[in-house]
Amino acid sequence: MDQSPQTIPHASVVAAMDAALAAARLGVRGANPLVGAAIIAPDGTAITGHHAGAGTAHAEPTAIRAARSAGIDLTASTLCVTLEPCSHHGRTPPCTDLILETGIPEVVLASADPNPAAAGGAQRLREAGVRVTTGVREAQARALNARWLTAVGERRPFVTVKIAQSLDGRIAAADGTSQWITSAASRARVHTLRARADAVIVGTGTALADDPRLTARPAAEAAETSEAEITQPVPVVVGMRGLDPASHLAQDPRTIHLRTRDPRSALEDLKTRGLDHVLVEGGAQLAGALVRADLVDELELHIAPLLLGDGLTGLADLGITTLADGIRWVSDPVEPLSDSAPNPDTLLRLSPTPAPTKGS
């Protein structure tokens, strides 16, 4: 940790950083890391903010706006942030500019930003006379964004795999029927996921069997929002077979068809095209290949209260023959996919269990 002087007790800083980490968990995983911020007022109280996803205000301006609304004197406050403030122009202005404009005298950081395009904020603040302390709750901040950090390090998009299935893990009945295993609430959730992603990926088998559009469409209750107003993800097909020339995807000029069986090379290709978050919707072979290669950063299971017995599974063979080799996942809190339905689907959001550190 830097040996910079602090204006408030260290215990208060740690408590505020814990509050910032809790706020960060309210965000959306994807192209951007989960980031939270907490402003410690002169009386020791903390006000938090978080980044809600790509294109929205970052955690720092969200917390600053809340502090201003509460009448807090920012020139006598400390800002705690779980990730180094950005110093570049992206979808939003640099957070370092706003911090300097407010006159906040001290900033405490959990971890540095590994993204070269966004790094450098701490140094800029120091050069402007702001006291900067780093490393407070660093391990917790890095654990929070472990898979995002992995994707950045591997120079590939963050990968979300979505599977809609029955209680016994079937995505279709024995005769192939699958519409609809899950509910309207689940399908609305899928369109929300698509709108957040830069690209939606399917394998050639799914493309040929279902003729999907892979567009994000507004929910019926949001009829005032037209499809044209939604930022549409890029449709991507992975696989060696050709598309039906009359299909929706073949007719869409934006469709990218990657003729490869190597999931890593496909992801690296998409990263070079500026696609930072991809949503994989099928099929079983593609999803299984991604899991086998440890390329899935987030798994969304939409589970219907339904048993199908024989049927199609959502993941192809993972090559696992013994229990000890099973791939374990960590789940966010379980939640229903509808508050009003008598028998709602269940949503599970999971991340791979982090690999043990050396010596553990």
- For helices 59-69 and 10-24, the axis angle rounded to 10 degrees is 110
pLDDT at position 91 is 66
- List pLDDT tens digits, range 217-234: 865 434 344 444 578 999
Instruction: Write down the catalytic residue from 60, 84, 298, 300.
Output: 60
pLDDT at position 356 is 52
Q: Which of 119, 124, 108 is nearest to 60 (CA)?
A: 108
- List pLDDT tens digits, range 7-19: 455 788 999 999 9
Domains of the chain: 10-144 (3.40.140.10), 156-352 (3.40.430.10)
Q: Between the CA atoms of 213, 216, 217 and 222, what dihedral angle is there, to the nearest 10 degrees?
A: 180
Average pLDDT over residues 162-175: 92
- Provide the pLDDT confidence category of residue 305 given band limits of 50, 70 and 90: very high
Residue 281 annotated in active site = no
Which 3 state secondary structure label does DSSP give 29?
A: coil
Give yes or no for a cis peptide into 205 (omega within 30° of 0).
no
- Provide the pLDDT confidence category of residue 357 given band limits of 50, 70 and 90: very low
The model carries a pTM of 0.86
pLDDT at position 52 is 86
